[in-house]
Amino acid sequence: MRTEKILVVLGGTSTEREVSLRSGAAVAEALQKAGFQVETLDLQPDNLHKIAEIRPDLVFLALHGKGGEDGSVQGVLEWMQIPYTGSGILASAVCIHKILTKKLLRDSGIPTPRFLEIGKEAKADPQKAAEKAIEALGLPLVLKACCQGSSIGTVIVRKKEDAGSALSSLFGYGDAILAEEFLSGKELTVPVLGNDVLETLPVIEITAENEFYDYDSKYTPGKSRHIIPARISQSVRKEAERLAKEAYRACGCRGFARVDIMLDAAEKPFVIEINTIPGMTAQSLFPDAARACGIPFPELVAKIVNFALEK
């Protein structure tokens, strides 16, 4: 039995609350199997004080989306001087903001699909704003709410006449929308572990029954497939792993994160985004990749804890 007392923080108030509850429950069970003392806390605005009352040696953050993956809880824990898993305040805030992530990737010389930022001024005439994006980036066009996860607030526009209503609907998530070039190749994800020395877990190819790997596909059994190893050449695999590590370092990630990559028609990889608190449910990608290379789930969460204690 390890002596560390781990508090798994889960739930929260974001649009990804249900996924977070499932991730946190799975993590807590795995930590217990790994020999840790474990408590859980469904974090709400009125119970932050309970973290200080519990006085854990470390907080395992299983919160997804706003209020958990955006640097806010990380800031509270820094102020309390309590170690926590995953990336720090700055990396968390940058990576949840899809537009900032894209700008950082571009400025770091890391290939990412062409993009435009659409601001709140587009609310006055969303059809006109969407048509400008189509002129610049073509059809199909990917539109994403800036700070959502689990593909919530993501739409693929295939007809110009549908673009205005699609864009208008996304303003319900916030005032910043990412318009992104559509790539027609395979969808990959690369799990990365480590602080200074990084390792990648097996590259996963994702297929979905729906139009793309949306929320329903992610969390409904049978709606998607995680193909391990991905059906790509060795050279493409190596390049995807290299780019994943570069993106992880460029954004200042720590502990663990998952880097999502799309291939174009010529199988050139482009980094899409970085998930600093990847899902840890039974259907999630990160645990699947770990199992594929012989790392059981309890060993995976213990590794993540060790990285957090190390930093």
Catalytic residue among 239, 279, 284, 288: 279
Q: How confident is the model at residue 281 (pLDDT cuts 50, 70, 90)?
A: confident
The pLDDT of residue 152: 77
pLDDT at 215: 52
**Set 70, 214, 239, 260: catalytic member:** 260
What is this structure's pTM? 0.94
Active site residue 150: yes
Q: Is the confidence at residue 214, as pLDDT, over 50?
A: no
Sequence ranges of the chain with CATH classification 3.30.1490.20 = 115-181
* CATH number corresponding to 115-181: 3.30.1490.20
Q: Does the active-site annotation cover 173?
A: no
Q: 138: which residues sit within 8 A by CB, 6+ positions away?
A: 181, 182
Residue 219 known to be catalytic: yes
Whether 264 sits among the annotated catalytic residues: the reply is no
Residue 279 catalytic? Answer: yes
Q: Which of 14, 16, 224, 239 is catalytic?
A: 16
Kindly report, residue by residue over 169-179, the tens digit of the pLDDT.
999 899 999 99
CA distance 215 to 211: 11
Q: Which of 164, 219, 224, 246 is catalytic?
A: 219
pLDDT tens, position by position, 225-266? 899 999 999 999 999 999 999 999 999 999 999 999 999 999
CATH number for region 5-85: 3.40.50.20
Is 275 a residue of the active site?
yes
pLDDT, tens digit, 9 for 90 and up, residues 71-97: 999 999 999 999 999 999 999 999 999
Residues of the chain with CATH 3.30.470.20: 94-111+183-310
pLDDT tier, 151 (very low <50, low <70, confident <90, very high otherwise): low
Look at strands 204-208 and 187-194 and give their pairing. antiparallel
Per-residue pLDDT of 20-44, as tens digits, reads: 999 999 999 999 999 999 999 999 9
Question: Among the CATH numbers 2.40.128.20, 3.30.300.180, 2.40.10.10, 3.30.470.20, which is that of 94-111+183-310?
Answer: 3.30.470.20
Residue ranges of the chain assigned to CATH 3.40.50.20: 5-85
